Structure 1
Amino acid sequence: MADSAEVIVCGEGLEHLAARYGLAWQAEQCAGLRLVREARALVLAGDEGRYGKSLKVDFVGGKAGHRRRFGGGRGQLVAKACGLGKAAAPSIVDATAGLGRDAFVLASLGARVLMIERVAAIAALLEDGLNRAASEPELAEISARLALAHGDAARELAALVAAAHFSPQVIHLDPMFPHRDKSALVKKEMRVFRELAGDDTDAPRLLEAALDIATHRVAVKRPRKAPPIAGPAPGHAIEGKTSRYDLYVHRSLSA
């Protein structure tokens, strides 16, 4: 699915970034949603009344830093869902990477993670966040376990994984939660994602692609009371307070 809202890369020195991600570039006086530099970070900014504060990928501080220190380690729901038990951490593809928060948690717990993000502007934020994390001594080891690919996993998952020379045991999916009422738009951050990516109507196709590639399991995050994604029935589920993970064993293991 192509990005459904236009994002402009704004500022001198960012022409190469715009070209790499296929985005329009202006030197100055940009309006609307735009990628700009604020201090050392690349941010996605827009009308604050509509979108809230600018978005950036921050693996050093903020929510990611707090979760790394106090999130609960391998007892976290995402860690359990992806099979991070007492054994060696698996290799994981996060095929709906978003701002990389789950991927960073998994990497901080020892997993090698390939992040795939189809929205160009979000992929650019992830690239910038990874680069900044790699320059921090306390995060260098974690960031080395993270890789990034920009592309549509629902259409080209196999090709993206092959190009990254990655062999995933687990694929993590967090498609856009179903949009059923106004409460889904309470968080302005989610409003930005919906305008850029739209609803994940191709989630069933993504699940099928993931089941073809993961050697062990596919973990799909869902709202706690939402139905599973259309398609094969999950083997079982792990529930949290507001969300759950539907778990699918790889076809060869369930045969």
Structure 2
Amino acid sequence: MTLLSIHPLSSNYHQQASELAQLLGLPLNKEAAFALQLGDMGLQLQELADKAPGPVRVDFVEGALAHRRQFGGGTGQMIAKAVGVQAGVRPSILDATAGLGRDAFVLACLECNVVMIERQPVIAKLLEDGLARALANLDTQIIAQRMRLLQGDAINLMQSWQLETPQVVHLDPMFPHREKSALVKKEMRLFRPLVGDDLDAPKLLSTALALASHRVVVKRPRKAPCIEGPKPSYSLEGKSSRYDVYTLKTLKS
């Protein structure tokens, strides 16, 4: 059985699904473990096994991110403190491991300009789809305009960086699987077969440190070891996760 197939949810989307299958080099309407489904709600990833959880899609307009946009705690959030958001300071940020774009969206809500990199093409397409819908919605349009997506390998892109140098690079590498870890969430259940572990995390960190002008921030499970390499300047610890902060220069207004 193939790992992933493109499935239109109605005949209205057959042409789009066919073009997407060709673009991603994936089969169309084949039996598979996972389906990238295209329909009225946009693009979504669905596991096809019995008793599988519901689909995963990127939605900046409604749901959990809409609630966080309205009631998320503003500059008091741990991620805001980690990247250096403060009075008169809204650093430019490169989110080099964008995933579903949640952290990038939170930072864009705080008026930071964020460039996102996602190397897995299917996840990048989910993110592109969610970003397009956010740009078309009046409630999220201005926020989405602060977000830019690049698809490719973060290490290669950072080593040959052509855009304005980011003040902060944010990293959230996939953590190696452990039983009873937080990675049993449905997103991780779907993504791990596609993405695997970020075994190049030390190289990712060293490349980020060479690019960022002011700091690098690494999100980790709370009890996980630091990424191999230089020790962080300090860490901010929450209930389930922490941020290791590598300071290079002081952020000033």
Query: Which letter does structure 2 place at the counterpart of 1:17?
Result: L
Distance 1:233 1:207 in 2: 11
Q: Confirm whether residue 71 of structure 1 aligns to residue 72 of structure 2.
A: yes
Deviation at 1:193, TM superposition (A): 1.6
Query: Which letter does structure 2 place at the counterpart of 1:99?
Result: L
Larger mean Cα displacement after TM superposition, 28-37 or 84-93: 28-37
Deviation at 1:32, TM superposition (A): 2.6
Query: Which letter does structure 2 place at the counterpart of 1:7?
Result: L
Aligned to 2:125: 124
Q: Percent identity?
A: 50
Distance 1:172 1:129 in 2: 20
Q: How does 1:28-177 map to 2 (within 5 A)?
A: 28=29, 30-47=31-48, 49=50, 51-159=52-160, 161-162=161-162, 165-177=163-175
Aligned to 1:8: 5
Distance 2:101 2:54 in 1: 18
Aligned to 2:223: 225
Distance 1:134 1:24 in 2: 27
Distance 1:141 1:185 in 2: 32
Residues 74 and 49 (structure 1), Cα distance of their counterparts in 2 relative to 1, 3 Å cut: farther
Preserved contact between residue 120 and residue 150 of structure 1 (Cα < 8 Å): yes
Preserved contact between residue 43 and residue 56 of structure 1 (Cα < 8 Å): yes
Aligned to 2:11: none
3-state DSSP of counterpart to 2:243: strand
TM-score (norm 1): 0.88
Distance 1:49 1:173 in 2: 34
Distance 1:81 1:34 in 2: 36
Deviation at 1:19, TM superposition (A): 4.0
Query: Which letter does structure 1 place at the counterpart of 2:179?
Result: D
Query: Which letter does structure 1 place at the counterpart of 2:19?
Result: H
Aligned to 1:23: 25
Residue by residue, what CA displacement relative to the aligned partner does 1:59-81 show, whole Å, maximum 9, x if unpaired?
00111111111110111111111
Query: Which letter does structure 2 place at the counterpart of 1:157?
Result: M
Larger mean Cα displacement after TM superposition, 51-60 or 120-129: 51-60
Distance 1:72 1:209 in 2: 31
3-state DSSP of counterpart to 1:24: coil
Deviation at 1:50, TM superposition (A): 6.4
Query: Which letter does structure 1 place at the counterpart of 2:43?
Result: L
Query: Which letter does structure 1 place at the counterpart of 2:202?
Result: P
Distance 1:185 1:174 in 2: 13
Aligned to 2:194: 196
3-state DSSP of counterpart to 1:33: strand
Aligned Cα RMSD in Å?
1.9
3-state DSSP of counterpart to 2:32: coil
Deviation at 1:183, TM superposition (A): 3.2
Residue by residue, what CA displacement relative to the aligned partner does 1:230-253 show, whole Å, maximum 9, x if unpaired?
001111111111111001123x77
3-state DSSP of counterpart to 1:32: strand
Q: Any gaps of 5 or more consecutive residues in structure 1?
A: none
Q: Flag the structure with more relative contact order, 1 or 2, with Cα contacts below 8 A and sequence separation at least 6.
A: 1
Deviation at 1:151, TM superposition (A): 0.8
Residue by residue, what CA displacement relative to the aligned partner does 1:136-155 show, whole Å, maximum 9, x if unpaired?
01111111000001111134
3-state DSSP of counterpart to 2:38: strand
Deviation at 1:15, TM superposition (A): 3.3
Residues 48 and 105 (structure 1), Cα distance of their counterparts in 2 relative to 1, 3 Å cut: farther
Residue by residue, what CA displacement relative to the aligned partner does 1:85-128 show, whole Å, maximum 9, x if unpaired?
11231110111111000000000110000111111111000000
Preserved contact between residue 235 and residue 249 of structure 1 (Cα < 8 Å): yes
